[in-house]
Amino acid sequence: MSHTEFVSFETDDGIELNGFFIKPTDFDPEKKYPVITYGYGNAGSQIVVNRWGTQRGPQQDLWHRYMAEQGYIVFAVDNRTTQGRGKAAKNLTYGEYGKYAVLDYIQAVDYLKQQPWIDGSRIGFWGWSGGGYLAAALMTKAAPHFAVAVSVAPVIDLTHYQAAGVERWMGTPSENQSGYDAVNVMNDADKLQGKLLLIHGTGDENVKFAFTLQFADALIRADKQFDMLVYPNQRHGISDFRGHVFKTMSRYFDDHL
């Protein structure tokens, strides 16, 4: 299997971000490769780490290496509010959940397009939970930078998410209604471009299945085409059918990226 290659790059406003590549073992710098990017993005999280596995377990890491062997380049980046950058960096999230995650992934696309061995028209993204939110946001708020995305168990509207996990960053809706409105991806459903797959378990105890239904309703009302896969009675980790999830994602990227 390919080893992870760690990199750093600077944003337009001078912030250094850390990322990693996983390349095919037969990588040829003269070729052009499609890219599958992966992200989570919440303040205090970290996925660019020098160890095997990822924040959400070894399956993602093994799937990334499998997809690299199928001819993709896998890329990830930690945005400026993530772990290891100090409290001042985390503070950027206050009142504006997800803002810098979206902006820094747009910067990441610019960085990717500077690499001569990347096909800039074939950049995809996938994420789970907070990363599911990021996938939905990148295909709407940040359109058209990504061609394809898979959004698993996405947080969509923070006014209906766990108060303990949200209000420490956002305050209450009555205090920060504009901030909550800016985060809500349903408000940007009409901006969707590219191919989007929504995946969710109906028994999700963390990010409620209703989030995906609300977003699907907003997309339909905006006359946008998308795909959706529902796992009956599965909880947040869809632990009974992880293999099915990754097979589906493999097929979706193969078909559309």
Catalytic residue among 78, 104, 188, 204: 204
Residue whose entry in the numeric block shows the structure tokens 């971000």: 17
204 as an active site residue: the answer is: yes
Catalytic residue among 61, 64, 129, 188: 129
Question: Side by side, which strands form the sheet with 195-201?
Answer: 5-10, 16-22, 73-78, 33-38, 118-128, 148-152, 195-201, 227-231
Instruction: Provide the pLDDT for residue 55.
Output: 53
Sequence spans of domains, the chain:
5-256
Give CATH superfamily name and number for 5-256.
Alpha/Beta hydrolase fold, catalytic domain (3.40.50.1820)
The pLDDT tens digits for 54-73 are 555 678 889 999 999 999 99
The pLDDT tens digits for 214-245 are 999 999 999 999 999 999 999 999 999 999 99
| Average pLDDT score over the chain | 92
Instruction: Provide the pLDDT for residue 57.
Output: 61
Q: What is the largest CA-CA distance in the chain?
A: 55
Mean pLDDT of 25-45: 91
Instruction: Provide the pLDDT for residue 68.
Output: 97
Torsion over CA: 154, 124, 86, 58 (sign): positive
Q: What are the residues whose beta carbons fall under 8 Å from the beta carbon of 149, sequence distance 6 or more?
A: 124, 125, 126, 135, 136, 138, 139, 194, 195, 196, 197
Rounded to an integer, what distance in angstroms lies between the CA atom of residue 254 and that of residue 248? 10
**C-alpha distances in Å from residue 211, one per residue of 70, 126, 129, 185, 207:** 33, 17, 11, 10, 7
User: Could you tell me which of 196, 232, 230, 236 has the C-alpha nearest to residue 213?
Assistant: 230
Catalytic residue among 236, 244, 250, 256: 236
